[in-house]
Structure 1
Amino acid sequence: MFAIDTFHTHGSDIDQFIQPVNQFTNNSPDLLLGFATTDTIKHLCNNQPSLIENTQNGLFISSCLGSSTEQTLSLNEHSISLFSIKDPNGHYGVASCNATDNLRENAAQTVLEAIANAGQTGLAPKMVWCFQVPGNEELVLQGIQDAIGQRIPVFGGSCADNDISAKWCFSDTKNVYQQGFIIAVLYPSVETFGFYSSGYDKTDQLGTVTNVDGRILNTIDNQPAFDVYNQWRKNIGFEQLKAGNILAQSTMTPLARALSSDDDIPRLLLSHPAVAENGTLELFSNLSVGDTVYLASGSPEQLIKRGDMVVSSLTKLADLHAIKNIKGAIIIFCGGCMLSIQSAMQEVKHSIAAQLPNTPFIMGFTFGELGTFSDSTSKHGNLMISCEIFGDSV
Structure 2
Amino acid sequence: MDIATSYSAIPYTNEAVSDIICKLKEKIANPKLLLVYLTEQYDDVIIQQALTKAFPGAQILGCTSCQGVMTDEGYIGGNGLAVWAMRDYFGAFGSAIVSTRQSSYDMARQALLRAIANSGRPGELPALIILHASPGNEEDVIRGIEDELGIPVPIIGGSAADDHVLGHWKLFTHEQRSREGVGLCVMYPSCNVSYSFHSGYASTGLHAVATKTEGRELVELNHRPAIETYQAWMGEKFSDENSIISASSLNPLGRIAGQVHDLPYFKLSHPLQVTPRGGIELFATVEEGEKLYFMKGTEERLITRAGRVVDAALDLHRANQKIDPIGGITIYCAGCMRRVQHRMDEVAHHVNNAMHHAPFVSPFTFGEQGQFVGGENAHGNLMISAVLFHRD
Report the AA paired with residue 36 of structure 1: L
Aligned counterparts, 1:3-18, within 5 A: 3-18=2-17
Aligned pair in 2 of structure 1 residues 116, 13: CA closer, same or farther (>3 Å)? closer
Aligned to 1:241: 238
Work out the CA distance in 1 between the residues paired with 2:215 and 2:192: 37
Aligned pair in 2 of structure 1 residues 47, 193: CA closer, same or farther (>3 Å)? closer
Give the SS at the match of 2:135.
Answer: coil
CA-to-partner distance for each residue in 1:354-393, whole Å, 9 max, x for gaps? 2222311111100100011111111000000011000121
Aligned to 1:301: 300
Aligned to 2:378: 379
Work out the CA distance in 2 between the residues paired with 1:41 and 1:363: 20
1:131 and 1:159 in contact (8 A); partners too: yes
TM-score, with structure 2 as normaliser: 0.94
Aligned pair in 2 of structure 1 residues 333, 295: CA closer, same or farther (>3 Å)? same
Q: Root-mean-square deviation (CA), in Å?
A: 1.8
Report the AA paired with residue 226 of structure 2: A
Aligned counterparts, 1:1-394, within 5 A: 2-23=1-22, 24=24, 27-42=29-44, 44-45=46-47, 48=50, 52-77=54-79, 79-234=80-235, 239-243=236-240, 244-261=242-259, 263-277=261-275, 278-320=277-319, 324-393=323-392
Q: Shift of the alpha carbon at 1:215?
A: 0.2
1:331 and 1:387 in contact (8 A); partners too: yes
Q: Shift of the alpha carbon at 1:307?
A: 1.2
Q: Shift of the alpha carbon at 1:309?
A: 1.7
Work out the CA distance in 2 between the residues paired with 1:100 and 1:336: 29
Unaligned runs of 5+ in 2: none
Work out the CA distance in 2 between the residues paired with 1:149 and 1:121: 15
Work out the CA distance in 2 between the residues paired with 1:64 and 1:195: 22
Q: Shift of the alpha carbon at 1:336?
A: 0.7
Percent identity over the alignment is: 30
Aligned pair in 2 of structure 1 residues 231, 82: CA closer, same or farther (>3 Å)? same
1:22 and 1:51 in contact (8 A); partners too: no
1:331 and 1:364 in contact (8 A); partners too: yes
Aligned pair in 2 of structure 1 residues 114, 48: CA closer, same or farther (>3 Å)? closer
Q: Shift of the alpha carbon at 1:240?
A: 2.2
1:10 and 1:18 in contact (8 A); partners too: no
Unaligned runs of 5+ in 1: none
Aligned pair in 2 of structure 1 residues 17, 48: CA closer, same or farther (>3 Å)? same
Work out the CA distance in 1 between the residues paired with 2:351 and 2:144: 33
Q: Shift of the alpha carbon at 1:48?
A: 4.0
CA-to-partner distance for each residue in 1:204-238, whole Å, 9 max, x for gaps? 1101111101101111111111111111111xxxx
Give the SS at the match of 1:38.
Answer: coil
Report the AA paired with residue 208 of structure 1: V
Q: Shift of the alpha carbon at 1:263?
A: 2.8
Work out the CA distance in 1 between the residues paired with 2:113 and 2:286: 28
Report the AA paired with residue 349 of structure 2: H
Work out the CA distance in 1 between the residues paired with 2:102 and 2:322: 40
Work out the CA distance in 2 between the residues paired with 1:360 and 1:301: 24
Aligned pair in 2 of structure 1 residues 33, 382: CA closer, same or farther (>3 Å)? same
Report the AA paired with residue 389 of structure 2: F
Report the AA paired with residue 106 of structure 1: M
Report the AA paired with residue 121 of structure 1: P
Aligned pair in 2 of structure 1 residues 322, 72: CA closer, same or farther (>3 Å)? same
Work out the CA distance in 2 between the residues paired with 1:241 and 1:384: 24
Give the SS at the match of 1:109.
Answer: helix
Q: Shift of the alpha carbon at 1:43?
A: 5.2
1:100 and 1:179 in contact (8 A); partners too: no
TM-score, with structure 1 as normaliser: 0.93
Work out the CA distance in 2 between the residues paired with 1:51 and 1:350: 34
Give the SS at the match of 1:94.
Answer: strand
1:272 and 1:382 in contact (8 A); partners too: yes
CA-to-partner distance for each residue in 1:328-351, whole Å, 9 max, x for gaps? 110000001000100000011011
